[in-house]
Amino acid sequence: MMLYLLKVLELSTVFSLLLLVPGILTEKEHGSNPINLTIVNSISNAPNETYSADIVFRGILLGAMRRLQQTNADFKFTCTENFNYGPFLESVNGVAGNNAEHTYWELLVQTGKNGSVIRPDVGIGCYIPEPNDHIILNFTKW
């Protein structure tokens, strides 16, 4: 009787594990996590704007920005396509970088690991945010 109960328990444990494992994998591979994205205008000193954007597992920043643009009417951006480096962030919420004025949107990241602000050495099409990264788009001069 005791042995039989143990057997049933064992089987049900194995069964629920079988059910759970694919669920966990699906969650990890297709689930999305929120990241904060702040828009800073260091030239006009307009107030900062912070948005929450959803990013898929190991997804690129550009994907999270596209999803945010589709779901939030207050957030808009445009890119130009560079042959070698991919998408160059041209404008955010109507404010565009300008060669004559030497202005551009700088990509900065406040890392979730230690809180320091880094300047990634790739653009929005290549950068893969970490779960606790805080993305900062800083309108500035070069």
Ligand X SMILES: *[C@@H]1O[C@H](CO)[C@@H](O)[C@H](O)[C@H]1NC(C)=O
Short-list 140, 102, 101, CA closest to 119: 140
Which residues, other chains included, contact 20 with Cβ-Cβ below 8 Å and sequence gap of 6+?
A: none
Task: Give me the amino acid identity at 132.
Answer: N
Tokens 């990890």 map to which residue? 28
- Does residue number 59 form part of the binding site for ligand B12 (CB under 6 A)? no
Among 32, 69, 91, 140, binds ligand X (CB under 6 A): 140
59 binds, among ligand B12, ligand X, none (CB under 5 to 8 A by kind): none
Short-list 103, 105, 67, CA closest to 87: 105
Among 51, 123, 133, 135, binds ligand B12 (CB under 6 A): 123
Among 67, 88, 96, 128, binds ligand B12 (CB under 6 A): 88
In this structure, are residues 62 and 125 in contact, taking their beta carbons and an 8 Å threshold? yes
- Nearest distance in Å: CB 136, ligand X: 5
Nearer Cβ to ligand X, position 12 or 48? 48
Nearer Cβ to ligand X, position 11 or 118? 118
SS3 letters for 62-88?
Answer: HHHHHHHHHHCCCCCEEEEEECCCEEE
Distance CA 135, CA 5 (A): 54
Nearer Cβ to ligand X, position 32 or 138? 138
Residues 56-115 that bind ligand X (CB under 6 A): 108, 111, 113-114
- Does residue number 32 form part of the binding site for ligand X (CB under 6 A)? no
Interacting residue ranges for ligand B12, rule: CB under 6 A: 82, 85-89, 99, 104-107, 119-124, 126, 142
